[in-house]
Chain A
Amino acid sequence: MAIWWIGNIVLLVVIAPVVVFLLNGVLQASRKVSAVVDDLATVGTKMASDLEPVPELLKTESYVTQTTAGLARYGAALDEIL
């Protein structure tokens, strides 16, 4: 019976605080991960919004192609003029 009581005391004084300490560590780490992931999500969303004008590069490509063709025509005409 005495040993049982000693086991109860050990359970109350040692085991329970250790379990609480370890679980608290896991919880704090999870919260830190959550904060970092929040920042990551914010940055990812901003990056995605920053890249919205990227499809405009297709227009730029079209304009450059047209400009190049115009320059070639201009050069040909200048060649004949000069």
Chain B
Amino acid sequence: MPAAAVVTIILAVVVVLVLAFFLLATARVLARVNTQLAAVIDAVGTIATRTEPVDSVVRSINSNLATARDVLSSLLVSKVGSDGAADLIASVDPLAQGPSVDREAQIQYEREYEEEPYYEPEPEPVQAQAPEPPPAAEDAVIHYERAGWTEPAAEPPWEQAQEDEPAAAPAGHGTADVGQDADPEGYDEQPRLLYRRASEDPGPAPAAEPDAPEPEPVRRSPGGGGGKIRLRHPED
């Protein structure tokens, strides 16, 4: 046998051994992958089994809650009417009395009365200046919320309190003690005054007259703020 044939045989054997080594390694890795995939398939099957009743359960819960809501809403409407029910629902709506509005108003108030420098009266011509228009409904609502009542009333609350209508306001919303000096420290004095001013604004202002008195300058926040929350000091 020639030497070349021997070398060829040796090389072929080496190549076959290398092939076998790599193929065995690959087969081992693929077997491990197969085992892991089997575990994954089991886990997915378990997940599918466990989540199978979620749809029906959630639908059932939603249906039950909707039924309860409908029953209570119909009961409320039958007792206080649709308008009263809407007012009551609005009075307990957390979005309507969230702390952010009060917090913003408090921050605004502190800025206005602790730091004076940014207040500069605007030089406005007297004749062209009309009296300050009454606050928009949104402003009135904000004043109203700061005053401790959570729903606007058609008439001032001190008159409403004299009518003794318990159905007109929900319990615990302070309508019944309007006009009473329940707070000895005067905590409620200013909010009540604010509400009174907001409710006593005399509607749309007439056209400016030449001899009209100069209106009271309005304090405005440095950032503008759109004038939605206008707080006045009681001594102003």
- Name the distance in Å between B17's Cβ and chain A's nearest Cβ: 11
Binding site for A on B (CB under 8 A): 2, 4-5, 7-8, 11-12, 14-15, 18-19, 22-23, 25-26, 29-30, 32-33, 36-37, 39-40, 43-44, 46-47, 50-51, 53-54, 57-58, 60-61, 64-65, 67-68, 71-72, 75, 78-79
- Name the distance in Å between B3's Cβ and chain A's nearest Cβ: 9
Considering only CB atoms and an 8 Å cut-off, how many residues of chain A contact the other chain? 45
Binding site for B on A (CB under 8 A): 1, 4-5, 7-8, 11-12, 15-16, 19-20, 23-24, 26-27, 30-31, 33-34, 37-38, 40-41, 44-45, 47-48, 51-52, 54-55, 57-58, 60-61, 64-65, 67-68, 71-72, 75, 78-79, 82
Q: Is the CB of A33 within 8 A of B29?
A: yes
Q: Is the CB of A16 within 8 A of B14?
A: yes
Chain A residues with CB under 8 Å of B68's CB are 67-68, 71-72
With A64-B64, A79-B78 in contact, is A19–B15 under 8 Å at CB?
yes
